[in-house]
Amino acid sequence: MRKIVIAGNWKMHKTQGDALAFLQEFLNYLTETPDDREAVLCVPFTALGTLSKNLHGSLIKLGAQNIHWADEGAFTGEISGDMLSELGVRYVIVGHSERRQYFGETDETVNQRLLAAQRHGLTPILCVGETKEQRDAGETDSIIAAQISKDLVDVDQSNLVIAYEPIWAIGTGDTCEATDANKVIGAIRAQLTNQDVPIQYGGSVKPGNIDEIMAQSEIDGVLVGGASLQAEGFARIVNFQ
Ligand code: PEP
């Protein structure tokens, strides 16, 4: 039975005060949330402590946006698995396209970060996706297949979420057709040894398109950027029909 995971990625938004204000409003909207799904907030490192102290007993799980592959050491600016788990973090995004594009992440470093997350008992959300040029050239399936096979070397598929995020759909308002995303996600699943890995879609998900996306047979949740910053809208996404 595949778990449904609805995750928000705040990226570099919200101070601690903003995060607390969001949480108070968000919790009010979640009172009717069905218990068949997990809601995750992947927030900046600076907001993890504050949210962790105020989440008790709620449905929401805490997530980070990156993790270093070493357990400790001379890695200025990086954060280790122990530092995250002591704050009550349960999920961590790994290999987001913004990390790959702006911060030089490669499939090799993504793989090392996935292994580190699992070593520390965290569930990584591995992001994969193709560019517009790759899609137009008909390379989507081969690009995604290569990412999956390189990123997942030695990774335990029983503690993993994958997010299919076409890069051209992220932050553009240009959502991938739900049926197209469903096909790509089906192809990802066919490559996995564990058929219970939840696979999300990400890319301009909003309250207006969540029901169509979640109606697809292969899609087990969403990773939401911009629309997760607003409590009422994100609650509508979590509460999809
Ligand atoms: C993301 O950053 O993972 C994302 C999907 O962003 P957006 O929802 O804003 O397209």
Specify the 3-state DSSP secondary structure of 33. coil
Q: Tell me, what's the ipTM?
A: 0.98
- Cα of 130 from ligand 1 centre, angstroms: 14
Task: Sort residue 77 into left (φ over 0), alpha (ψ -120 to 50) or beta.
Answer: left
pLDDT in tens, 31-54: 888 889 999 999 999 999 999 999
∠ CA 111-99-229, nearest 5°, is 120
- Give the nearest ligand 1 atom to 170 CA: 10
CB contact at 8 A, 26 and 234: yes
CATH of the domain at 127: 3.20.20.70
Q: Is 9 assigned to a binding site? A: yes
- Cα of 152 from ligand 1 centre, angstroms: 22
Total tally of structural domains belonging to the chain:
1
237 lines ligand 1 (CB under 6 A): no
pLDDT in tens, 51-90: 999 987 778 999 999 999 999 999 999 999 999 999 999 9
Cα dihedral angle (142, 144, 148, 150), rounded to 10 degrees?
60
- Ligand 1 atom 6 nearest Cα: 225
Amino acid letter at 196? D
Structural domain range at position 204 = 4-238
pLDDT in tens, 3-21: 999 999 999 999 999 999 9
Separation of alpha carbons 208 and 200, rounded Å: 17
